[in-house]
Structure 1
């Protein structure tokens, strides 16, 4: 009974915060990591094409860290961190730990099952995948009952999103794929990012050694394969390539960017109670609207814990990190020129799951409709053809770096 009482108290605090009825303005996560190989070990940020040189590079910028101006390298941007939370939620749904309403497009291409959900699509439920989908009767998704409800939603009434794709209201959504004078655009209520402090950029030599040392001749390339030219001039219209471009022969090592060494790695995440409080749900009773905002806050906390509560984190190849310290705290109205913070009562995944279940029960009692299965659609003929083409083998591609 003590645990239940404590969870009820946590829920009530979350509900009042998400509805701007208390001094709690946000929940903030501050975590410090180090590479699994130890301090100073090279880690690899995401590679981008830099504007200055049009070559591969890393994203760096000046920031204040602990009050001092420093250069930081971005290790994981907000979009990527949101995707990690969404994937963690989806994985838990597939394990049947709980259910979160979402959209699912399912088909098959070249005998391979293909499935894309609104928790994975680039623009979430408003992605072009769902715009170009249809139900089992062949009705365009946007013309179905659920699709039309999402299409007709607007800033003053986001109830369809709360009912069908609540994660969109947490991680942000923009209906940019449909022609409409006023497009739905919901800012993120949950944000998180990771960066490394004072990066020293390393170098690496990339190449390939061929045990048979095949000659790097020029060959003719067709959809069915390639064939030697034996020194002959290729016929007009014939595509040619060096054997090294097709995965054979030697490639001399060349210098490239080789990760970074940093003083420390930080993650900063927030759940904005002000953004949650700004969400409107049309003619819904205030009790339902308040419970809906609290439910969204609980989903945000659950997603963060599912994605980041483990002692280690894998961002990408060459970027594995260990948690050194972590603070999860309430952020309140400041006093005497200083912010006021309090530790969150609990941060364990199992407790966040219980908090979510409590919030869902309250919202359902207030009248929220909560599905037990995703809204399932399939590609329309044009999209199906494009998907099938992407799975078809058509000739030989060129070799790329690791």
Structure 2
């Protein structure tokens, strides 16, 4: 009996996934009333409402000092001040990392570039789903294949370099996440550069922030004196005599991680009424993508596949009950809804709940979309495109792993 129930549940789930895919197929090519998929979520600090959280610290233009980004917005129709907790670039990076983690767990595969090497005996790897400019990053411009051919001169590298807004088929085949999260080929000189806007966007902000303060300092267990010491490339030593030797670099003990640092006032996070996340998958942007001289069925299936990747990335990154943004900014979900955004009627917006919201649902949706796209002729690699750094980049990477001298201490 239990097996029959499970079989029935699995059957109806598969039917619902197919229905969702067919709806996504039409929406991603602008062939329905669905203009977007929207995610709206509310969080609160893990310590409870009003608890202190830490936004990303930036250098403010007005004061030339460390601070937080704030701006006026309308929230529930009322003008309020908000503090930015995670911008669109960072949210996209979280989705890409979540997708890459799933690839490494072998839950699925999404084509990407992968540069590997070694520095100081440490394996080094960076992929197009991690690099700041994705497949168009300088890491891959300065890479080569196993035969020593510069990547931009290889067949796939040349195809990516010569792609245009009218034919992004090579992106769909080799680096599809670029088309979901945006790409700009700004590291290569070209009269008309490839620039693909994001199809997926998400951001998080805190409502009505109240600024906090904190005392930052350092307590030394042995209360070492904060004397001036001589510093060389191999270490430091106490000053011999009344003053340092001529021409020798000096530093305070506190700068090297020893001695006391008296507490001083620093920015200390914020308390907010609520934390909001707003995410969207733009069907208009997906519908604008062109893949060259291919059938309409291929184009439609390709756009639907990209939409499925966007939804899967969102769920992998944000479906958990809690979220860690950075040190001092851990949040729990209070409410969340995913919805279709349709053409408005009678001056009012029209939305409908999304039929599937779990990670397993989105994995099934992705598999369905990939199967259809491959059936229409999409080539889908089963391994990343492997590259190695050229000599100059290898030297730069190796240097970044060297341990030279003593670093400066930072306040806790």
TM-score normalised per structure 2: 0.97
Name which of 102, 116, 121 aligns with 2:131: 121
Matches within 5 A, 1:75-224: 75-224=85-234
**2:408 equivalent in structure 1:** 398
In the alignment, the residues of structure 1 paired with residue 266 and residue 241 of structure 2 have an alpha-carbon distance, to the nearest angstrom, of 33
Name which of 38, 52, 59 aligns with 1:49: 59
Matches within 5 A, 1:343-382: 343-382=353-392
Name which of 310, 324, 328 aligns with 1:318: 328
**1:336 equivalent in structure 2:** 346
Give runs of ≥4 in structure 1 deviating > 4 Å: none
2:307 aligned with 1:297: yes
Aligned-pair CA distance for 1:231: 4.4
Whether the 8 Å CA contact 2:218–2:411 is kept in 1: the answer is: no
Name which of 280, 298, 309 aligns with 2:319: 309
Q: Which runs of 5+ in 2 are unaligned?
A: 1-10
Aligned-pair CA distance for 1:82: 0.2
In the alignment, the residues of structure 1 paired with residue 391 and residue 175 of structure 2 have an alpha-carbon distance, to the nearest angstrom, of 25
List per-residue Cα deviations over 1:115-143 (Å, max 9, x = no partner).
00001000000000000000111000111
Name which of 281, 288, 294 aligns with 1:271: 281
TM-score normalised per structure 1: 0.99
In the alignment, the residues of structure 2 paired with residue 393 and residue 24 of structure 1 have an alpha-carbon distance, to the nearest angstrom, of 55
In the alignment, the residues of structure 2 paired with residue 233 and residue 137 of structure 1 have an alpha-carbon distance, to the nearest angstrom, of 58
Name which of 249, 270, 293 aligns with 2:259: 249
> What RMSD, in angstroms, separates the aligned Cα atoms of the two structures?
0.8
SS in 1 for 2:187: coil
List per-residue Cα deviations over 1:20-79 (Å, max 9, x = no partner).
000000000000000010000000000001111111100000000000000000000000
Whether the 8 Å CA contact 2:95–2:314 is kept in 1: the answer is: yes
Q: Which runs of 5+ in 1 are unaligned?
A: none
SS in 1 for 2:338: strand
SS in 2 for 1:19: coil
Aligned residues: 402
Whether the 8 Å CA contact 2:117–2:123 is kept in 1: the answer is: yes
List per-residue Cα deviations over 1:148-173 (Å, max 9, x = no partner).
11111111110010000000001011
In the alignment, the residues of structure 2 paired with residue 340 and residue 385 of structure 1 have an alpha-carbon distance, to the nearest angstrom, of 56
In the alignment, the residues of structure 2 paired with residue 359 and residue 221 of structure 1 have an alpha-carbon distance, to the nearest angstrom, of 61
SS in 1 for 2:176: coil
